Chains A and B, each alone.
Chain A
């Protein structure tokens, strides 16, 4: 079988550039940056707020359900954007199809709602 190695060359090139893009700053920055460590600078940075306690604590499991429901609607928007952009070219069929899709998602939302997944305990 004839393989077009030229295309794989591009892949290799991209791999090289991508790896370099990550590594060169890592190697370069210690060499050129000023070095004056102090306690405040070495503290864990979290959005500018002082950190309290350790991160090994129990999280509320409710977050997990929110995350799941969020993902459902996240995926919905992924489908809705291209559909909305191409809507001018599409016909009634696409409108009905999207209505069915959203309808199926709505069943999921109603389910989550009725099962009190949206309630903050």
Chain B
């Protein structure tokens, strides 16, 4: 049993506080910096993210609970915090040129992005429904602003409005589900909810089923699971491309961390119910995402559908949860569940790095060619060989080919789901992987096998190149040496306790 402290230990909030302060400083400095030096704010933001990461690592190791049980810092929280921080840092670096070209409000963009990241850090540590909801809203509202940030462009404004309206509806569903849960259990602290459900024997209450489905719907919107995915294509296409990258990586991962907390802790007693629900959701999500991507001609839209498909794979982890985690802990069941969680963590990290690499390349093409159409990727390999190679490696990792990290993440995930006995779902996922390969290969085909309309090489972009190189190197190195990170995911998963 880890040591539990319930005091107001401000050290537990250190990464969030540091990042919020940096965001405020960015807003302040934005007022005094001349327009041509605003990119300094992005570098300041990256420094802030690194500082928050160092503080998060400093908190790591043990499990600490504070603020009357509403806040938890455990290895899983640290793992997700680092994922969000890495994603935000790469997105900031990739944004500099893109944002400078398109808007005068650069400082606001960086600050709002940092606030969204702060909200995600909070989501990773929330152990109580209201804290969780506040963190979710801080993230969501920031992301609504970011999606519509290029308000002069019709598509971006459309993306912002659609995201806002659909997001508000999903928030309402989520709140209703949370309210019903509170009504039935009398508490908002996640482990207490599980205890009250067990004590009052309301596992089969129809009202609790309604609450469960509403909460799943609210979180499903966040991770873009079918049937809550309808916003994805339009928002991904219309939003500024770095924001699309952020949505597809960090926002999605934040949806999974709250799914993990709420369903495996608060609704632990209902595991058979929601595991079945998520099995169907996962199968439908990956199929709709991958089939939808087949006929896309816009790369951002294609990556939107691709991200739905990938969310479907990740949701499989929830279908593979075995009941009986608590209170009667069966060690074999616990080990299987722990393996599933570690596979999910590793999958999300691998997906994040891979997608960041792919999006960095897309942002660069978007800056230089002014287009996100697949047709304009024709002959890119001749015009930008290094960029094309990076995009090739990223896409192959998304397909799941060795030696990229995407291969290992899929193997671990599919294997753990197979181990848990949900074999039909693994078959569906394998078929989907084969299907998905075709549309990822279409981008590669366009880059390498189509003739280029002009031979003009693409100019370089230093900060974006740094982000692209770092993420591609991570994709390849983790593909060759996956075990250290997988060990980290496994030990984090083993320490996942309510």
Contacts and interface: CB of A to CB of B under 8 A. Distances in A.
Interface stretch (A9-17, A83-91, A107-115): A107-115
A1 interface: yes
A107 B184 contact: no
Interface stretch (B23-31, B60-68, B413-421): B23-31
Query: Which one of B28, B184, B202 has the highest number of Cβ atoms from chain A below 10 Å of its Cβ?
Result: B28
A104 interface: yes
A110 B32 CA distance: 11
B200 interface: yes
Contact of A110 (B31, B184, B200, B202): B31
Contacts of A1: 184, 200-202, 205
Contact of A114 (B31, B184, B201): B31
Interface residues of A, number: 7
A115 B184 CA distance: 48
A111 B27 contact: yes
Interface in B25-47: 27-28, 31
Contacts of A114: 31
B195 to A, nearest CB: 14
Interface string A101-121: 000100100110011000000
B184 A111 contact: no
Interface in B73-119: none
Interface in A1-42: 1
- Residues of B contacting A: mostly: helix
A15 B24 CA distance: 45
A110 B27 CA distance: 10
B44 to A, nearest CB: 15
Contacts of A107: 24, 27-28
A64 to B, nearest CB: 14
A104 B28 CA distance: 11
B28 A110 contact: yes
Contacts of A104: 24
A115 B202 CA distance: 55
Nearest to B105: A115
A102 B201 CA distance: 47
Nearest to A113: B31
A111 B31 contact: yes
Interface in B189-242: 200-202, 205
A92 to B, nearest CB: 15
Contacts of A111: 27-28, 31
Nearest to A103: B24
A26 to B, nearest CB: 30
A115 B32 CA distance: 11
B304 to A, nearest CB: 32
Nearest to B197: A1
Nearest to B207: A1
Contacts of A110: 28, 31
A106 to B, nearest CB: 10
A115 B111 CA distance: 15
B481 to A, nearest CB: 44
A110 B200 CA distance: 53
Given A107-B27, A110-B28, 14 more contacts: A1-B184, A1-B200, A1-B201, A1-B202, A1-B205, A104-B24, A107-B24, A107-B28, A110-B31, A111-B27, A111-B28, A111-B31, A114-B31, A115-B31
> Which 9 pairs, one residue from A and one from B, show the smallest C-beta to C-beta distance?
A114-B31, A1-B200, A1-B202, A107-B24, A111-B27, A107-B28, A107-B27, A111-B31, A104-B24
9 contacts: A1-B200, A1-B202, A1-B205, A107-B27, A110-B28, A111-B27, A111-B28, A111-B31, A114-B31
